[in-house]
């Protein structure tokens, strides 16, 4: 592996960038992708998360090759999907969407799947799928209305951000917390290190 290995994050998500920075990984560049995230007919949440992560990585690869950034580049992509049973919840942009999601999540358990996709400098494709189970308390009318009013739900899968106010709704969480935020750090670091990326080198300069 070259000492000039670069990590390219195929995302414009500030949450995923912050999570990588939390463990000392600073991407060389961010490559936002614009793909159709509509679930296929009868597609399960776990399958959707894997498919979208792979599609994002492949789309970023095309852009990187056009910009001549491919040399020594590791392309990392991820997608997070929230589901209740076989029902996939949207990334909420509208108040009505967020309201429907909160009503469905209130007092119930749900699953959060994140697909992580990696394309190595040699062109190898690797992936991981991580599942976390989360249970919400039954929301009071005040909690429900005030959470919608705060706007924190905008653009969030399932209509909530666990790292924000919605953490007060969580009764139980089984699995990776960072997965629910948007990127499972243990699995991501293990995947990168296993493919030769110097994950731990930056730790020497952290204080």
pTM beyond cutoff 0.75 = yes
pLDDT for position 2: 47
Give how many domains the chain has, as a whole number: 1
Burial class (CB in 10 A: 0-12, 13-18, 19+), 97: middle
Is 69 part of a structural domain of the chain?
yes
Is 85 part of a structural domain of the chain?
yes
d(CA 64, CA 69) in angstroms, rounded, equals 5
pLDDT for position 70: 74
79 as an active site residue: the answer is: yes
Helix axes 141-150 and 95-105, enclosed angle (nearest 10): 140
Give the pairing of strands 73-84 and 87-89: antiparallel
Is 70 part of a structural domain of the chain?
yes
Is 160 part of a structural domain of the chain?
yes
> For residue 191, what are the domain limits?
6-205
pLDDT for position 121: 93
pLDDT for position 206: 67
Is 191 part of a structural domain of the chain?
yes
The pLDDT profile of the chain, 207 residues, written as one tens digit per residue, is: 445 789 999 988 889 999 999 999 999 999 988 898 899 999 999 999 999 999 999 999 998 887 766 778 999 999 999 999 999 999 999 999 999 999 999 999 999 999 999 999 999 999 999 999 999 999 999 999 999 999 999 999 999 999 999 999 999 999 999 999 999 999 999 999 999 999 988 888 766
Is 140 part of a structural domain of the chain?
yes
Q: What is the CATH number of the domain that holds 13?
A: 3.90.950.10
Helix, strand, coil share (%) of the chain residues, nearest 5: 35, 25, 35
C-alpha torsion angle, residues 24, 25, 27, 32 (rounded to 10)? -110
pLDDT for position 1: 42
Is 134 part of a structural domain of the chain?
yes
Query: Is the Cα dihedral 91, 160, 110, 117 positive or negative?
Result: positive
Is 1 part of a structural domain of the chain?
no
Task: Tell which phi-psi region holds residue 98, choosing left (phi > 0), alpha (psi between -120 and 50) or beta.
Answer: alpha
Let me know the angle formed at the C-alpha of 87 by 58 and 137, rounded to the nearest 5 degrees.
115
pLDDT for position 45: 95
Catalytic entry in 34, 72, 79, 93? 79
């Amino acid at each position: 592996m070259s000492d000039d290995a670069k990590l390219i994050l195929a995302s414009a998500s500030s949450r995923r960038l912050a999570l990588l920075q939390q463990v000392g990984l600073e991407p060389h560049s961010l490559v936002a992708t614009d793909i159709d995230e509509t679930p296929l007919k009868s597609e399960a949440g776990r399958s959707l998360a894997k498919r979208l992560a792979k599609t994002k990585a492949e789309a970023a690869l095309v852009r990187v090759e056009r910009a001549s950034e491919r040399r020594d580049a590791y392309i990392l992509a991820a997608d997070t999907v929230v589901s209740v049973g076989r029902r996939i919840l949207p990334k909420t942009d509208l108040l009505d969407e967020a309201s429907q999601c909160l009503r469905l999540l209130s007092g119930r358990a749900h699953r959060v799947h994140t697909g992580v996709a990696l394309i190595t400098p040699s062109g190898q494709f690797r992936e991981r799928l991580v599942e976390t189970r989360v249970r919400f308390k039954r929301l009071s009318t005040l909690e429900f209305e005030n959470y919608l009013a705060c706007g924190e739900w905008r653009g969030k899968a399932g209509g909530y951000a666990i790292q924000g106010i919605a953490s007060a709704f969580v009764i139980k969480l089984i699995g990776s917390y960072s997965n629910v935020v948007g990127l499972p750090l243990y699995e991501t670091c293990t995947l990168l290190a296993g493919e030769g990326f110097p994950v731990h080198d930056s730790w020497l300069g952290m204080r």
